[in-house]
Amino acid sequence: MQLPHPVTTQFFSVQDVATAIHQLGLPTVFQRLADTIRADYQRWNDFEKCARVANHSKDGVIELMPISDGKTYSFKFVNGHPKNTQIGLPCVMAFGVLADVATGIPEFLSELTLSTALRTAAMSLVAAKALARPGSKVMALIGNGAQSEFQALAFHYLMGIEELRLFDTDPRATDKLLANLAHTPLRLTVCKSVREAVRGADIVTTVTADKTNATVLSPDMLERGMHINGVGGDCPGKTELHPDVLRASAVFVEYEPQTRIEGDLQHLPADFAVTELWQVLTGQAKGRVDAQQITLFDSVGFALQDYSVLRLMRELAKELGLGQPVSLIPELVNPKDLFMLLQPELQPVAEATGRGKAKMAA
Amino acid sequence: MQLPHPVTTQFFSVQDVATAIHQLGLPTVFQRLADTIRADYQRWNDFEKCARVANHSKDGVIELMPISDGKTYSFKFVNGHPKNTQIGLPCVMAFGVLADVATGIPEFLSELTLSTALRTAAMSLVAAKALARPGSKVMALIGNGAQSEFQALAFHYLMGIEELRLFDTDPRATDKLLANLAHTPLRLTVCKSVREAVRGADIVTTVTADKTNATVLSPDMLERGMHINGVGGDCPGKTELHPDVLRASAVFVEYEPQTRIEGDLQHLPADFAVTELWQVLTGQAKGRVDAQQITLFDSVGFALQDYSVLRLMRELAKELGLGQPVSLIPELVNPKDLFMLLQPELQPVAEATGRGKAKMAA
């Protein structure tokens, strides 16, 4: 009797991600992740893309984000529930899968709550490297919640940011951020208003969470040469920027059809010109044209950066020997005989391969 | 310091599904599953529905199938790769999730390879109960692959089918089916052709797998009063029935927008009349009108029956004490402090709750 075709799904947990970061260091992980994202964006046309499939409810959204390059398929499950923190839950929770396009096997199942925070910051970094003024030293960080440390450290380690100007409507969020960054040489200034935080900043990162059309940033706060890294406006009815902020800027996006629906761009007419970032990264479009221009990355989070982070996590799992198998898909002695799984007398055959039993332990 | 909000994801494996069936018996599981599907179809308008999101490649398809009733969200990941059996893999592999709409927590993660086979047969049963002639005793079963035992037994246990007339282009598939059904009182007749198998049948079930526009059933094979349970034509370019078979029948579908793209219906003009099954199940539309009519269920597999099977599996997990927790989502002492996960000195706090550690074991 032939052995079943192996159908191994590797599970990569939050603990595995944390262990990989402890072993390699956060700067290295950010660097490799940014490199992976940049490389994947540079082969943009290899990917079959679609806007994410969103299920909106009163207090939040649940989304599925699939993408494929014809060899590897990935998708992410992710929610966005701004009020979750009131009951002790993260606003954003996620997991995702890499599958083999040739066979459909879901090969790699990973946590993506922590990894989404990593990839969002790495994506912001890739955009800022292409769009912000070289030599940027000061970043305003508006919104000091779960994503803020990741933005702060990615820009500190790899963009040369030396000073952060902080603002949040919740002072405890800022206190938490201060404590978490105390081990770094970053100069941290707590500000009383967005206006105060933004003044003199080279880069302005907005990463607030309210599901509302907020005006965190208004056009009178803008200064020449600024780069705006707009991260929090990422859902219909959840925006951060006054429309005139976009009008005053050269606007760059991940995937135009999705950003028109979800980004701060949703408040602008359909013919308002934007540039997809991949065009800048491949040299097909200009990024920043001079030191006076205001550039804006209207980030909403696109499936491609989840593909990239899943790809990197699988690479790290292999490299560092992390993760473990789970029995998501049954192994069959005869693939046309699914019914065999219900026949107890046949089960010792599956166990005899040495795979069936171990994997059931997951 | 407050305890983290519990974020328990329950994992239900293939082994758990098999154990539940061993404990309750397959007839009971089919009955409860058909009841669950029928109840969910009867509240059709509670659901936010969309056609599944399909990623087609040369040899197959990978699909995501989300649905929500505003309280519970579900999705299924499923592939369809007809050539997989040549390398010892199932054509169809799947898993899925139930999530809480209010918070976004993915609460229940289940295998759906085996469960998809169960729900597909249970869905066929629900349709046949509403559409086939009462007193149907003989079923032709065209295609004797992975799904065939489930169709055979659901119709035997709960529809009163006493005789099966079998045909498959692969005689080994039929041999396997014969062996798997040997323990039942079903009369099994192996036929040399589809035509021979169909002759005199009350119900004709087509469940073939080739990704091609096949003509398994042609109009000259039809007999008055037949019910056709068309299961295998479920993808653009993957059909089983001659268009005139549909023209000769009253055609019923799960979700019209999806079936127009994926069902045997894809070969008919957009204005060809069909009835959605939920309308029959709620009494808003007629099913079979007389004993002479030919009825056809053009089944493609809709997200709602995956929602139903996930709902039943979660119920069985609770009832029978099956499944186990996995650490898909991190628990956070402070939900705005995701960064804490990277700080080893804080980890004993999470472990002290007694949850963190146990769940990492998955």
For position B80, which CATH number holds? 3.30.1780.10
Alpha carbon dihedral B225, B165, B163, A339, in 10-degree steps, equals -120
pLDDT digits (tens, 9 = 90+) for A295-329: 999 999 999 999 999 999 999 999 999 999 998 99
User: How many Å apart are CA B194 and CA B206, to the nearest integer?
Assistant: 10
- Tokens of residue B199, six digits: 């002759």
Tell me what the pLDDT averaged over chain B comes to: 92
Q: Work out the average pLDDT over A180-203.
A: 97
pLDDT tens digit sequence for B149-205: 999 999 999 999 999 999 999 999 999 999 999 999 999 999 999 999 999 999 999
Residues B197 and B317 in one domain: no
Q: What is the pLDDT of residue B234?
A: 83
pLDDT tens per residue, range B245-287: 999 999 999 999 999 999 999 999 999 999 999 999 999 999 9
The pLDDT confidence band at residue B2, using thresholds 50, 70 and 90, is low
Q: What are the φ/ψ torsions at residue A166 (nearest 5 degrees)?
A: -105, 140
| pLDDT of res. B347 | 42
Do residues A243 and A331 share a domain?
Answer: no
Q: What is the spatial order of strands in the sheet that A106-111 belongs to?
A: A53-56, A61-68, A72-80, A94-100, A106-111, A9-12, A324-326
Residues A189 and A298 in one domain: yes
| Domain end (from B301, B319, B347) | B301
* pLDDT bucket at B360, cuts 50 / 70 / 90: very low
Question: What's the pLDDT at A52?
Answer: 83
The minimal CB distance from A15 to the residues B11, B66, B327 is found for B327
B123 located within any domain? no
In-domain check, residue A204:
yes
- Three-state SS sequence of B24-72: HCHHHHHHHHHHHHHHHHHCHHHCECCCCEEEECCCCEEEEEEEECCCE
* Any domain includes A121: no
Chain B residues near residue A97 by CB distance under 8 angstroms: 77
Residue A18 forms part of a structural domain: yes
What local confidence, expressed as pLDDT, does residue A3 receive? Answer: 62
% of chain B beyond a pLDDT of 70: 94
Q: How far is B288 from chain A (nearest CA, A)?
A: 32
Residue A117: list chain B partners with CB under 8 A. Answer: 338
> Percent of chain B scored above 90 by pLDDT?
83
Residues A100/A5, Cβ–Cβ less than 8 Å = no
- Least confidently predicted of A78-82, A279-283, B162-166, B231-235: B231-235
Measured CA to CA, the distance from residue B239 to residue B211 in angstroms comes to: 8
Q: Where are the beta strands (DSSP E) in chain A?
A: 9-12, 53-56, 61-68, 72-80, 94-100, 106-111, 138-142, 163-167, 187-190, 203-206, 213-217, 227-230, 239-241, 250-253, 275-276, 295-298, 324-326
3-state secondary structure of A226: coil
Query: A263 and A353: one domain?
Result: no
Question: Smallest Cβ distance to B84: which of A66, A93, A335?
Answer: A335
CB contact under 8 A, A11 and B362: yes
Q: What's the pLDDT band for B355 if we cut at 50, 70, 90? A: very low
Q: Residues B323-333: what's their mean pLDDT?
A: 91
On the question of pLDDT at B52 being above 90, the answer is: no
Beta bridge partners of B54: B63
Q: Do B15 and A105 touch (CB under 8 A)?
A: no
Q: Which of B274, B301, B328 is the last residue of a domain?
A: B301
Range of B335's domain?
Answer: 9-114+306-360
Residue of chain B minimizing CA distance to A326? B362
Q: Indicate which CATH number applies to the domain containing B167.
A: 3.40.50.720
On chain A, the residues whose CB falls within 8 A of the CB of B113 are: 329-330, 338
**Which chain B residues contact residue A170 at CB under 8 A?**
336
- Report the chain B residue with the minimal C-alpha distance to residue A14: B330
Residue A31 has pLDDT above 80, yes or no: yes
Show residues of chain A in contact with B84, CB under 8 Å. 103-104, 335
Domain count within chain A = 2
Secondary structure class of B250 (helix, strand, coil): strand
Identify which has the larger pLDDT, B226 or A52.
Answer: B226
Span of A269-278, B73-82, B174-183, B324-333 with lowest mean pLDDT: B324-333
CA distance A114 to chain B (A): 7
Find all residues with CB under 8 Å of B72, minimum gap 6, and list them: B98, B99, B100, B101, B307, B311
Question: B176 to chain A, minimum CA–CA distance in Å?
Answer: 7
Give yes or no: residues B356 and B291 share one domain. no
A226 in the same domain as A143: yes
Residues of chain A found within 8 Å of residue B145, distances taken between Cβ atoms: 336
| Residue predicted with more confidence, A358 or B310 | B310
pLDDT of residue B321: 97
By residue count, chain A amounts to 362
Distance from CA of B145 to the nearest CA of A (A): 5
What average pLDDT does this structure show over A77-91? 92
Contact B88 A48 (CB under 8 A): no
Chain A contacts of B358, Cβ < 8 Å? none
Same domain as B321, residue B231? no
- Contact call for A146 and B329, based on CB within 8 A: no
The SS3 of residue A98 is strand
Tell me the Ramachandran region of residue B204: left when phi exceeds 0, alpha when psi lies from -120 to 50, beta otherwise. Answer: beta
Is B21 in Cβ contact with A146 (below 8 Å)?
Answer: no
Domain end among A302, A327, A342: A302
Picking from A91, A22, A37, the residue whose alpha carbon sits closest to that of residue A59 is: A91
Q: Tell me the chain B residues in contact with residue A103 when contact means C-beta distances shorter than 8 Å.
A: 60, 79, 81, 84, 87, 89
Structure-token match 């290899």, residue found: A46
Residues A281, A157 share a domain: yes
Q: What pLDDT sits at residue A142?
A: 97
Q: Which residues pair with B139 in a beta bridge?
A: B164, B203
Residue A137 and residue A35 share a domain: no
* Chain A residue whose CA is closest to B89: A335
Same domain assignment for residues B252 and B349: no
User: Residue B339 and residue A149: Cβ atoms within 8 Å?
Assistant: yes
Q: What is the mean pLDDT of residues B235-242?
A: 89
Work out the number of other CB atoms within 10 angstroms of the CB of residue B14.
24
Residues B86 and B160 in one domain: no
Q: Give a yes or no: residue A125 inside a domain.
A: no
Q: Give the residue on B whose Cα is nearest the Cα of A340.
A: B180
pLDDT attached to residue A120: 97
In a domain, A321, yes or no: yes
Looking at the predicted structure, is the pLDDT value of residue A351 above 60?
A: no
Nearest to B14 among A21, A95, A330 (CB): A330
Show which residues of A are catalytic: 234
Contact call for B66 and A60, based on CB within 8 A: no
Q: Exactly one of B16, B40, B168, B234 is catalytic; which is it?
A: B234
Asked if B145's CB is within 8 angstroms of A336's CB, the reply is yes
Is residue B256 included in any domain, yes or no? yes
- Percent of chain A clearing pLDDT 90 (strictly above): 83
The pLDDT score that the predictor gives to residue B114 is 96
Cα–Cα distance, A215 to A229 (Å, whole number) = 15
A37 domain-assigned: yes
Residue of B115, B141, B336 best to disrupt the A interface, most CBs of A under 10 A: B336
Lowest mean pLDDT among A69-73, B59-63, B241-245: B59-63
Give CA–CA dist B37/B49, Å, rounded.
15
pLDDT tens by residue, A215-253: 899 999 999 999 999 998 888 888 999 999 999 999 999
Q: Are residues A181 and A320 in the same domain?
A: no
Asked whether residue A344 carries a pLDDT value surpassing 80, the answer given is no
Question: Mutate which of B7, B10, B49, B62 to disrupt the A interface (most A C-beta within 10 Å)?
Answer: B62
Which value does ipTM take for this structure? 0.89
**What integer pLDDT is reported at residue A2 of this predicted model?**
56
